[in-house]
A and B are shown apart, each in its own frame.
Chain A
Amino acid sequence: MAITTGLKVLEKEQSPSKTAKRPGQPSKLSPWDIVKVSRHSERPVFEDYIELISTGFMELHGDRYYADDRAIRGGFAHIDGHKVMLIGHNKGKNTNQNVERNFGMAKPEGYRKALRLMKLAQRFNLPVVTMIDTPGAFPGMEAEERGQAESIAKNITEMAGIEVPIISVVIGEGGSGGALGIGVGDRIVMLSNAIYSVISPEGCASILWRDAKYAPDAARALNLTAHALLKHDVIDAIIDEPGEGAHTNYKVIAEKVKKYISGQLKVLSNIPVEILLQERFEKYSAMGKFERLV
């Protein structure tokens, strides 16, 4: 299904647009425009990347406690010759898909499934690749009842100690704790029009500006773009999107994502596990900016 959508888009726009920016250059788009591109209805989703960057995806189901959350999928796969555990938020592209997948908003069972698969990866000595694309963890009554906070907290804590390399790619929306719940990696990379934020710009605006219509201002203030986050040392790299965004050329973006993952897997797989974990600890210990008063 998704691949046909992808090909349709490919046919529509083969050549890069005239407004294409040079690689590595900050986008000409405003932060709010980037938010809109990150949520574009034809933007490639996890399912597309499964098809385009991996082969032999063998999906595994269920958290062993409650259910199989369709908002997060995962399983064994090959990426450019590397055997990996591939896990991602499962956004859809139309209403039917999104109803089934809850718009990529996972419940505790989704995070628990993801953790189960990461532990399985450790058992099989396979690196983990996670793909982040969620508006956030599902804010519903049953999610709270079953421990939404606990499931995310557990993943974040356990990921600090998973004894295989972890690469996290933010392919669309990095929505707060719901993103971080599968996002504690040795490498965090963002697509150039992806966003990563502590709160949605609309949510931030309605709290700090008392009105969601100030979302564009909040988007700017939150520094949620890939370029801002590279500058603030949160992410390791940016994968430049073709033309006016990943939705304009699935093939090109998929190839770039595959190349990045493959290259980093080569680097990370040569690091002894004790050093890998020590470096992961140091990476997250160094996150944030504060000062020490004299």
Chain B
Amino acid sequence: MGWYSKEIGEKKQQKATLWIQCKGCKSHIWEQEWVKNLNVCPNCNYHGGITATHRANLLFDKNSFYELFADVSPVDSLGFKDLKGSYEDKITANKNKTGINEAVITGKGQIEGIPAVAAIMDFRFLGGSLGSGTGEKILQAANFAYDHNLPYIVFSASGGARMQEGVLSLMQMAKTCAGVARLNKKNIPFISVLTNPTTGGVTASYAMMGDLNISEPGAVIGFAGRRVIEQTIGEKLPDDFQTAEYLLEHGFIDAIVNRKDIKSYLGNVLSYYNR
């Protein structure tokens, strides 16, 4: 219950309002109802953002989650500065804002009694971007799964590679996929859950490499940005372009699963794994 009361408490302090506007249908929802419904709109089933810690609590059996590699933290190795300031300052601000050190939390636990390793991305931390620390944690968690013969699950929520780390961030695509390749070779299941949004370099690396790829309803999943494509082809794209439903239709994901059912879905899948 830790995260539960804390989250509500934080929001109350930030703004006195107790209403949340759904980004999907624009209707106003009583905040308590929104949270109780796992940040999903009770009217239109729009799946809103959710913190990595909240997800870990939803995914793993009570008191079974044990966080690993929590000490990995980004560094501003290029001394990157843009108009709005330095990457170093952004790191500090994002750590303070989210209470985590990177855009992903990693750990092991039990899902309906089955042990598994998971990496869960948090979009609040620099847009869930894939930096060196993010890549390191996703690889280390894959290595942990490899060493202990445990299935590996990654929840993605990311705008893509972290520009402020230049090619070092691009190389995290190769780094994380090298970890996935080793799992493949040892026949250890790797399940990718693509949540809203999963785009760019994350989609073009581990997120698309699941033995099973699953997604939440309406999640935006794509490689190139919508605007970039519209500029390239000079016309408007259909509304459902790059949604989970579009990817299901085109054969890139196995299933679209409501947030409340993801735990039982994964538990069911893992029950088929004869270790």
Contact = CB atoms under 8 A, between A and B. Distances in A.
Most central of A138, A152, A224, A284 by chain B CB within 10 Å: A284
Interface in B169-185: 169-175, 177-182, 184-185
Contacts of B241: 141, 144
Interface in B110-150: 131-133, 135-136, 139
B165 interface: yes
A198 B181 contact: no
A157 B177 contact: yes
A232 to B, nearest CB: 6
Contacts of A221: 78, 80-82, 166
B165 A137 contact: no
Interface of A: 137-141, 143-150, 152-154, 156-161, 174, 176-177, 180-181, 183-184, 196-199, 203-204, 207-210, 214, 217-218, 221-224, 228-229, 232, 234, 280-281, 284-285, 287-294
Interface in B69-100: 71-75, 77-78, 80-84
A146 B184 CA distance: 23
A288 B74 CA distance: 10
A27 B140 CA distance: 37
B204 A148 contact: yes
Given A284-B175, A288-B168, A149 B222 contact: yes
Contacts of A222: 78, 163, 166-167
A152 B82 contact: no
Contact of A208 (B135, B163, B170, B200): B163
Contact of B203 (A143, A153, A180): A153
B139 A285 contact: yes
Interface of B: 71-75, 77-78, 80-84, 101, 131-133, 135-136, 139, 161-163, 165-175, 177-182, 184-185, 200-201, 203-209, 222-225, 228-229, 232-233, 237, 241-242, 250, 252
Interface of B is mostly: helix
B133 A145 contact: no
A92 B52 CA distance: 46
Contact of B136 (A137, A224, A288): A288
A284 B205 CA distance: 14
Contacts, number: 205
A288 B135 contact: yes
A160 B135 contact: no
A130 B207 CA distance: 25
Closest 7 CB pairs of A and B: A288-B132, A139-B224, A290-B133, A289-B77, A287-B171, A160-B181, A149-B203
Contacts of A223: 78, 166-167
Contact of B204 (A153, A209, A214, A291): A153
A169 to B, nearest CB: 16
B136 A290 contact: yes
B167 A141 contact: no
A292 B72 contact: yes
13 contacts: A156-B177, A157-B178, A161-B184, A198-B167, A217-B82, A222-B163, A224-B167, A228-B166, A232-B78, A284-B175, A288-B175, A289-B165, A290-B136
Contacts of A288: 131-133, 135-136, 165, 168-169, 171-172, 175
